[in-house]
Amino acid sequence: MKTLRLNMTTEDIKVASEIICAGGLVAFPTETVYGLGADALNAEAVRSVYLAKGRPSDNPMIVHIADMQALGQVARETGEAALKLAEAFWPGPLTMVFKRQEIVPDVTTGGLDTVAVRMPSNEIARELIREAGTPIAAPSANLSGKPGPTTCNDVLEDMEGRIEAVIMGERCEVGIESTVVDMTGALPIILRPGKVTKEDIEELLKLEVSYDEALFDRPNKELNPEDGAQRAEGFKPKSPGMKYKHYAPKARVRLVHGELEPLAKEAEAEGTVVATLDYGEDSEEAARRFFADLRELDRKGVQLILVETLNTPGLGFSIMNRMLKSAGFDVVEN
């Protein structure tokens, strides 16, 4: 298959929407990471997304919408709190989990009776959804287990020849995936931390918000082989995607509390090709660059990436979640 490069023009977005409507796959920019889009209501199309990504099929997709009418089409029992969150953070990097409507196929929700929904703020993404006239299921447009794609070239690196088209958009502003919040219980539960933080949600709703316990579990490394697809048994988060090995570059990643330089020198002396990443206190920059930096260092053939841990609250916590997973929870004090 030849992967078409499409531009951010009205004409090309129309071409992209036609591919989606015909059951094909199109990668497109969002403000978080690039998505790999398929018609969310077409089971066959969604099945091909799992294939293209090499993704385990019990890992459900986020359904992307462009307006509030579409929310009722795919979700039910949305409730007051969710509407408040939608008003404050949509369009934007927030995904909410609701009871699903029958119209959403099993394959889209990984067989769950819930559906994850997000309205992205990226204009190209919303234009594509509107033009397609159907909600778009889109996981991140990377091979399963690899760092998220924050540029169109990252997408091509993983997906060339596996999907019909890529919309060649800009670099993603946020750089890590959306916050996922389960809205089906009495109180919201954060299943995946992101740019919209626990504090943001608590302040708006005046409700206590918790993190899914699985966020703090360390998956068993032996059960998490390189290909990223194997299940870590005994690790049962509410968000099925959180149990798989994630964000792993070819290089080994190690997080360091404290000084990077002495450890880098040590490894270099042993003949290892080392690189260091230190974002200081700038969590916005860390979010924007972390996945991109991992990919860049892989291209350079680096063997060991030492990353200084972030100690900032809010967004810093969300980035640490990605950093820990990319490092397979390998953290040292120095």
Name the site residues for ligand TXA (rule: CB under 6 A): 30, 32-33, 35, 59-62, 95, 97, 109, 112, 114-116, 118, 120, 138-140, 177-178, 180, 191-192, 238-242
Closer of 13 and 241 to Mg ion (Cβ): 241
Closer of 134 and 140 to Mg ion (Cβ): 140
Angstrom CA distances, 161 to 52, 167, 248, 275, stand at: 9, 14, 22, 31
How many residues are recorded in the chain? 334
**With contact defined as beta carbons under 8 Å apart, do 36 and 47 qualify?**
no
Enumerate binding residues for Mg ion (CB under 5 A).
140
Which residue has the closest beta carbon to ligand TXA?
A: 241
- The helix/strand count (H/E) of the chain reads as 11, 16
Return the one option of Mg ion, ligand TXA, none that residue 118 interacts with (CB less than 5 to 8 A, by type): ligand TXA
Return the one option of Mg ion, ligand TXA, none that residue 240 interacts with (CB less than 5 to 8 A, by type): ligand TXA
**With contact defined as beta carbons under 8 Å apart, do 244 and 326 qualify?**
no
Which residue's entry shows tokens 């998490």? Answer: 224
Return the one option of Mg ion, ligand TXA, none that residue 256 interacts with (CB less than 5 to 8 A, by type): none
Closer of 241 and 316 to ligand TXA (Cβ): 241
Closer of 238 and 322 to ligand TXA (Cβ): 238
Closer of 16 and 33 to ligand TXA (Cβ): 33
Least distance in Å: CB of 82 to Mg ion?
23
Closer of 55 and 254 to ligand TXA (Cβ): 55
The two three-digit tokens of residue 311, written as one number:
């100690």
Of 321, 152, 327, 332, which Cα lies nearest the Cα of 258? 332
Least distance in Å: CB of 156 to Mg ion?
17
User: What's the burial of 220, exposed, middle or buried (CB within 10 Å: 0-12/13-18/19+)?
Assistant: exposed
Least distance in Å: CB of 60 to Mg ion?
11
The residue type of 295 is R
- Report the interhelical angle of 123-132 vs 10-21 (nearest 10°): 50
Least distance in Å: CB of 30 to ligand TXA?
5
Angstrom CA distances, 92 to 85, 173, 244, stand at: 11, 11, 25
Least distance in Å: CB of 246 to ligand TXA?
9
The residue type of 113 is D
The span from the CA of 334 to the CA of 331, in Å, is 10
Least distance in Å: CB of 123 to ligand TXA?
14
Least distance in Å: CB of 217 to Mg ion?
18
Of 6, 19, 70, 74, which Cα lies nearest the Cα of 49? 19
Closer of 272 and 329 to ligand TXA (Cβ): 329
Least distance in Å: CB of 257 to ligand TXA?
27
Return the one option of ligand TXA, Mg ion, none that residue 219 interacts with (CB less than 5 to 8 A, by type): none
Which residue has the closest beta carbon to Mg ion?
A: 140
Quote the distance between the C-alpha of residue 334 and its chain's center. Answer: 31
Closer of 3 and 239 to ligand TXA (Cβ): 239
Least distance in Å: CB of 53 to Mg ion?
8
Return the one option of Mg ion, ligand TXA, none that residue 108 interacts with (CB less than 5 to 8 A, by type): none
Return the one option of Mg ion, ligand TXA, none that residue 164 interacts with (CB less than 5 to 8 A, by type): none
Q: How many CB atoms lie within 10 A of CB 3?
A: 18
| Torsions phi, psi for 101 (to 5 deg) | -85, 155
**With contact defined as beta carbons under 8 Å apart, do 100 and 184 qualify?**
no
Closer of 3 and 140 to ligand TXA (Cβ): 140
